Chains A and B, each alone.
Chain A
Amino acid sequence: MIVKLLSGDQPRSVLLTLLLLVTLVCLAGAPFLFDGVRALDTAARICIFIVLAASYDLLLGYGGIVSFAHTMFFGLGAYGVALTSSHMGRGFDALLVGSVSGAVAAIILALLIGLFSLRVRAIFFAMITLAVASALAVLVSQFSGLTGGEDGLTYKIPRVLTSANRMGEFMGTQVSGKILNYYLVFTAALILFLLLLRIVNSPFGRVLQAIRENDFRAEAIGYRVIWYRTMATCLSAAVAALAGSLFAIWLRYVGPDTTLSFEIMLDILLMVVIGGMGTMYGAVIGATLFILAQTYLQNLMGSASEATSALPLVPDLLDPDRWLMWLGVLFILSVYFFPTGIVGRLRERRAS
């Protein structure tokens, strides 16, 4: 049963299995295990970014395709939900229509980009995705009548999913619609992740790996490489869009900074690389660590800075404003010491 759910792709490392189980339990019980709005918000972000990073891993780790348009697809899903929710009014139908149309738009755009540019060299595809993603980001900020421009859109989601919906108490925690909303995000993320895990272990996934290894030979044994690459791009785009929809449902707000910015694109790239490319589980580890660092590193540094205030220079270095620098240092160290990512490293230990 579990083997089937994981598509026969077990973690293959005791430590990794433990880490994944802890992550799963913490995320599954987040509303009851941790206090406060911030913790729940962090857990929801982790769920969403796991899916987003995993869908990027399908492209980068399994397909060997470098794309800079992943946030664009993420944004399409988010804006899909935002637009339908603002125009159709609050309701589950608006969420559904928004998610589906966002995913369809993402697939169509991915298909066009793929067919136009996957034929040629990889670097060209990367440049095209960068150009299209930047163009779309500009469009979103220009068409402010429709998209709210730089301010973004705020809208209402079904009352059942908001904190106004009180459903009594459980394990000492006030159960509200917010928690219901969290479980919507969590369940959808879990299903999407298992779906991606299945795809990379399917016959299609094997062809993708073959193409990544040796596209010349893959073509010579009868696989039309461009169609497989395009298919991978479309699948990855669709899942990213759905992750965007979840993000929009969770936040009840979308804006260029939260869904379309190049910064998020780099975050996704870092999550996948730190976690381990071409492993899927790497996305779980990478996204979890990254979001935790992003959320709590600043606090940690704040208190460290205060604690060392008597020393020269040290408090300045530990100032919360420097958190991005420390994240950079962490990234360099992790790439240097774990070139195959955390998951790759853990699996090597077991092999040796």
Chain B
Amino acid sequence: MTQTLLETDALTVRFGGHVAVDAVSSSFRAGELTAIVGPNGAGKTTYFNLISGQIPASSGRVKLLGEDITRLGVADRCRRGLGRAFQLTNLFPSLSVLENVRLVIQSKQHKGFGLFSMADSHQELTVAAMAILERVRLDIQKGQLVSELSHGDQRKLEVALLIGLDPMVYMFDEPTAGMSVDEAPVILDLIAEIKADRARTVLLVEHKLDVIRSLADRIIVLHNGALAADGPPAEVMASAVVQEAYLGKELDHV
């Protein structure tokens, strides 16, 4: 039995009278990649926000490595091993590509309160950051400002920041959205690599069915904020609830 890294227990959030995420209970094990699917507005990103702490839960609990983290802030959850890449690119635009990744490594190594050393003198941060930039094929652009990067490169950097954190739980929110056909495989290969490291678990919100088919070990379906299906890809794809709630409507977009 592999270790359970992340659990949500009847996780719920209400905005006024609207229940955006409705008592979702699930657990995520090491070495597993779970795709989270559902039509637009089903609550996928909100579910992510509840797990990573951007939105406080109305009720229910989030547990990381058995510890209840429901009341912790975003930074504390991150320091305990919960990492997230965002759907809309969310970077530090007027800093260089290298500096963006260095900041992540610096956070990971708890060096943010170094007051009297020169930031650039920390070679260990630069070396680690460069290694990650090479993995996402951004090493040539290291000196560029993020605001000057193309959309596809910004998406790559978004993923690079997450890899720099090296969390126990990786959360990807449509990592290849808006990327060109030849850029997306770089990211998908990286996700496959992370999954191959049996100690981590990956949560992936994704619309593209071919991506889900090639990567997912398990699919959970959200519909109107509630858990509609949970199981191996073949089984979930075939189930009536998915055919009707998700695939039936979205198939022509794929």
Contacts and interface: CB of A to CB of B under 8 A. Distances in A.
B95 interface: yes
A198 B75 contact: no
A183 interface: no
B117 A202 contact: yes
10 contacts: A7-B118, A199-B115, A201-B119, A203-B119, A203-B122, A204-B113, A206-B119, A210-B95, A213-B94, A219-B78
A228 interface: yes
B118 A213 contact: no
A276 to B, nearest CB: 14
Interface in B102-137: 102-104, 106-108, 111-122
B23 interface: no
B120 A213 contact: no
B103 A221 contact: yes
Given A207-B106, A220-B52, A8 B112 contact: no
Interface stretch (B8-16, B30-38, B84-92): B84-92
B73 interface: yes
B206 interface: no
Contacts of B103: 206-207, 210, 218, 221
Interface of B: 52, 54, 73-76, 78-79, 84, 86, 90-95, 99, 102-104, 106-108, 111-122, 161, 165
A8 B120 CA distance: 8
A159 interface: no
A224 B115 contact: no
Contact of A202 (B90, B91, B102, B114): B114
A contact patch SS: helix
Interface string A1-40: 0001001100000000000000000000000000000000
Nearest to B117: A202
A222 interface: yes
Contacts, number: 97
A210 to B, nearest CB: 5
A223 interface: yes
B191 to A, nearest CB: 19
A4 B93 CA distance: 27
A225 B54 CA distance: 14
A7 B75 CA distance: 29
Given A206-B102, A213-B92, A219 B122 contact: no
Interface string A195-234: 0001101111111011001101111111111001001000
Interface of A: 4, 7-8, 198-199, 201-207, 209-210, 213-214, 216-225, 228, 231, 235
A348 to B, nearest CB: 14
Contacts of A231: 113
Contacts of A202: 114-119
Of B75, B79, B112, the most chain A CB neighbours within 10 A belong to: B112
A7 B116 CA distance: 9
A221 B165 contact: yes
B119 A205 contact: yes
A203 B112 contact: yes
A213 B93 contact: yes
A221 B52 CA distance: 11
Nearest to B146: A213
Given A224-B76, A225-B75, A228-B112, A214 B93 contact: yes
A217 B106 CA distance: 14
Of A205, A218, A220, A231, the most chain B CB neighbours within 10 A belong to: A220
Contacts of B92: 209-210, 213-214, 217-218
Contacts of A204: 112-115
A225 B53 CA distance: 14
B93 to A, nearest CB: 6
A300 to B, nearest CB: 39
Contacts of A218: 92, 103
Nearest to A220: B74
Contacts of B84: 220
B73 A223 contact: no
Contacts of A205: 119
Contact of A219 (B73, B106, B120): B73
Given A217-B86, A220-B54, A221-B107, 12 more contacts: A199-B115, A201-B119, A203-B106, A204-B113, A205-B119, A210-B103, A218-B92, A218-B103, A221-B103, A222-B79, A222-B108, A235-B115
Contacts of A198: 115-116, 118
Of A203, A206, A218, A235, the most chain B CB neighbours within 10 A belong to: A203
A134 B131 CA distance: 52
Contact of B91 (A4, A7, A206, A214): A214
A214 B99 CA distance: 14
Top 4 closest pairs, chain A to chain B, by CB: A203-B114, A222-B78, A222-B107, A213-B92
A84 B92 CA distance: 46
A214 B106 contact: no
A128 B115 CA distance: 27
Nearest to A216: B90
Contacts of B75: 219-220, 222-225
Contacts of B90: 214, 216-217, 220
Given A219-B75, A222-B108, A209 B95 contact: yes
